[in-house]
Every structure is written in structure tokens, then in C-alpha cells.
């Protein structure tokens, strides 16, 4: 009903009217992530348009990232997670604000000092005592990211201070990062990484690195998060400067 009648007289082409209607249905959550769309034939019948029109509308929504096609099983509402580009938020906050339950499986938690090689990328002085946290991070039951975080030991009372959220623990200690630099790049995932993230061989990999700073400019975290396939979608708002 939300889509209403497609109208030949409107100056918007029929496929764009259909596309707009479906987009609205997704935005209003009348169609939910992972919902299957009816077959093209049924949609064509329902809206009294040709299958070519339906196909064109769906193609448009697939390229916008709102729908996805799965070989042999049809078209579905995409379930990827959108992440604002400029907000300094934690994984826990990102997932909670989307109504998902964040969960972590600990792979490793350790204490050590920064090696010269590590010092090059983390910005910590060689020999700085650090805590290292390696987790597989889930949204509900879906593994989303394989994450490695290094935090200087001064920032936390102990290794055990981090139980679920790193940023919560840093916040409690008065050391939550206030600013950060973030870098994204395409990477090839190793077979074990792909497996941990429930990907398929050949899936694309994304590495997100973050260096977080305290108000006074000291580095308080260096993290590397690996994502697999198209589960994550980074969105940036671009504006012209006046």
C-alpha cells in the first residue's frame, strides 16, 4: 500500500516510481533486513508493469546497496551495517544503536612492551608497556570484525579492566580517546581470517585502523579491525566549504 499505484502520467518514469516506493518501504521498515522480495514476475503483476521495469527498479536499489541478490535464491533487503564516518564511537555503541547485541569472543589478552616495528605504526615509543586485546566481534550471532587493539598500560588500571567494551573501560579510567585518525584500506584476508569471519574464499577484505588520542595529544589506542565481504558500509557526509 505504501507504494500505491504507479502512474503513467507522473513525469517520473515507472521504474523510478517503483524504486522510490520500495526505498521508502525499506526506510520505514515495512521491509526488514534479510526479507526476501517477491519474485519479479509477481511484482510486475502487482504493479501492472513489465518485468523489465521491475528489473530496472531492483537493479537501481541493488547498486544503492539497499537490496542484494543471491544467486539462485532471489533478491533480499540488504543487512549491512552503516557506520557514520566522523563519529568517534565504539563497536559496542555502533551495534547497540542499531538494535543489535554486541558480543566478543576473546582470542588473546596480553601484556608486553612495544617492539621497534610496532612503534613505527602505533606511535608508541619503543619499550612502552602496553596491553593487547584480540577479539572476534559479533553483532547478534554474526561475526563482524576481527579486532586487535593495543593500549598503553598507563591508560587502564589492569589487563582485566576490559571485560566487554574497551571504550567503557577507558572512559572509567578517564582515558577515553577524544580524537582519532582512521584509515581504511582494501586487504586480502588470510584463510584463517576469512574462516573466523564466516566468509567465503575470495571475499573482499577491509582493514580499518584507528589511532585514538587523549585531549593532551597522547596516543591512547591503536587498533586494527578486519571486516569481510559487504557486512559493513561506511557512510560519509560531504559538504562544500563556504
- Which residues lie near ligand GLP (CB under 6 A)? 90-92, 147, 149, 165-168, 208, 210, 221, 223, 225
Residues in the chain, total = 242
Tell me, rounded to whole angstroms, the distance of Cα 17 from its chain centroid: 30
CB 34 within 8 A of CB 77: yes
Q: Among residues 79 and 165, whose Cβ is nearest to ligand GLP? A: 165
The candidate with the shortest Cα–Cα distance to 149, out of 128, 172, 167, is 167
CB of 116 to ligand GLP, least distance (A): 23
Nearer to ligand GLP, 48 or 97 (CB): 97
Of 16 and 165, which has the nearer Cβ to ligand GLP?
165
Q: Which residues contact 65 (CB under 8 A, 6 or more apart)?
A: 78, 80, 233
Q: Which is nearer to ligand GLP, 59 or 168 (CB)?
A: 168
Report the alpha-carbon distance of residue 72 to residue 69 in Å, rounded.
Answer: 9
Residue closer to ligand GLP (CB basis): 168 or 230:
168
Q: What's the min distance (Å) between Cβ of 104 and ligand GLP?
A: 7
Closest distance of CB 226 from ligand GLP, Å: 11
User: Residue 112 Cβ, how far from ligand GLP at the closest point, in Å?
Assistant: 18
CA distance 130 to 154: 8
Residue among 145, 154, 169, 50 at smallest CA distance from 111: 154
Least distance to ligand GLP, CB of residue 208, Å: 6
Amino acid at each position: 500500500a505504501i507504494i500505491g499505484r504507479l502512474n503513467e502520467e507522473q513525469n517520473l518514469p515507472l521504474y523510478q516510481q517503483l524504486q522510490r516506493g520500495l526505498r521508502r518501504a525499506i526506510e520505514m521498515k515495512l521491509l526488514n533486513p534479510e526479507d526476501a522480495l517477491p519474485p519479479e514476475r509477481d511484482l510486475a503483476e502487482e504493479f501492472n508493469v513489465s518485468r523489465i521495469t521491475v528489473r530496472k527498479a531492483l537493479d537501481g536499489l541493488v547498486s544503492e546497496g539497499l537490496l542484494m541478490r543471491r544467486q539462485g535464491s532471489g533478491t533480499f533487503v540488504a543487512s549491512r551495517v552503516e557506520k557514520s564516518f566522523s563519529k568517534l564511537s565504539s563497536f559496542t555503541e555502533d551495534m547497540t544503536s542499531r538494535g543489535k547485541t554486541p558480543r566478543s569472543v576473546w582470542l588473546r589478552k596480553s601484556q608486553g612492551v612495544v617492539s621497534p616495528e610496532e612503534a613505527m605504526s602505533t606511535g608508541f615509543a619503543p619499550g612502552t608497556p602496553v596491553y593487547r586485546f584480540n577479539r572476534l566481534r559479533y553483532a547478534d550471532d554474526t561475526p563482524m570484525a576481527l579486532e586487535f587493539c593495543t593500549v598503553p598500560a598507563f591508560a587502564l588500571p589492569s589487563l582485566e579492566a576490559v571485560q566487554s567494551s574497551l571504550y567503557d573501560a577507558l572512559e572509567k579510567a578517564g582515558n577515553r580517546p577524544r580524537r582519532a585518525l582512521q584509515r581504511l584500506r582494501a586487504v586480502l584476508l588470510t584463510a584463517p581470517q576469512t574462516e573466523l569471519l564466516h566468509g567465503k574464499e575470495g571475499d573482499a577484505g577491509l582493514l580499518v585502523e584507528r589511532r585514538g588520542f587523549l585531549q593532551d595529544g597522547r596516543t591512547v589506542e591503536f587498533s586494527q579491525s578486519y571486516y569481510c565481504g559487504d557486512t559493513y558500509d561506511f557512510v560519509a557526509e560531504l559538504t562544500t566549504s563556504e
